[in-house]
Amino acid sequence: MRSLITKLTIVFAAVFCMTSLSSCNYNSLVEEQQNVDQAWAQVENQYQRRADLIPNLVNTVKGYSTHESETLTKVTEARAKATSITINADDLNEENLAKFQQAQGELSQALKSLLAVTEAYPDLKANENFMNLQTQLEGTENRIATERMRYTEAVKVYNTSIKKFPTMIYAGWFGFKEKPQFKAEAGAEKAPEVQF
């Protein structure tokens, strides 16, 4: 009888310890996953803010430039493509993030082309509305960079946690999967050529 009680005590103690560890790690993983989801939402918010500024920018440029319809069309099309790709935080994976990042990169390139074209129009560059939109766009680009950095940090903490022992065991049990990181845009490794 005594050995049975001892064995049951050991089994209950082991179950209690595993449950305590599991609950503690589970709660930490849930918190870290929520931090990733929140950081992702902020990234999307800033990209949406940029997309919301573009129609006003295009209309302002259109009022001054009748010869740049191709550039304006490219910006409009890139905006439409970028805003059509949305990712729920639960669907974040390498493939979806790559599509999202590619569409946003195309929009960034189209905006750079548009802003380069405006250099040929001194009246446009002096327009108060255009200057205000350009300032807001620059501020939004800075916010995007900041929110991407915060997302990257949240993902690093989360991904590190789910790979540590013994948390990796519980992460597998409860379905916590690795979250993707932003990748450098193609060509980012090459320094731009400057010619004088």
Would you give the DSSP letter of residue 187? Answer: T
**Where do runs of H (alpha helix) occur along the chain?**
2-64, 69-84, 94-117, 122-126, 128-163, 167-174
Give per-residue pLDDT as tens, 83-127: 999 898 888 999 999 999 999 999 999 999 888 888 888 888 788
Q: Is the pLDDT of residue 174 over 50?
A: yes
Which phi and psi (to 5°) does residue 66 adopt? -95, -10
Structure tokens given for 63: 């009022």
- Which two structure tokens, joined as six digits, stand for 46? 């800033």
Residue 191 — very low, low, confident or very high, per pLDDT cuts 50/70/90? very low
76: Cα within 13 Å, side-chain hemisphere: 12
Summarised one tens digit per residue, pLDDT across range 29-81 is 999 999 999 999 999 999 999 999 999 988 888 887 767 788 888 999 999 99
Token pair for 94: 């390498």
User: According to the per-residue pLDDT averaged within each range, which of 3-7, 8-12, 161-165, 180-184 is highest?
Assistant: 161-165
Average predicted confidence (pLDDT) for the chain: 85
Give the start-to-end residue ranges of the domains of the chain: 47-174
Nearest to 182 by CA among 159, 155, 143, 161: 155
Cβ count within 10 A of residue 153: 13
pLDDT at 4 over 60: yes
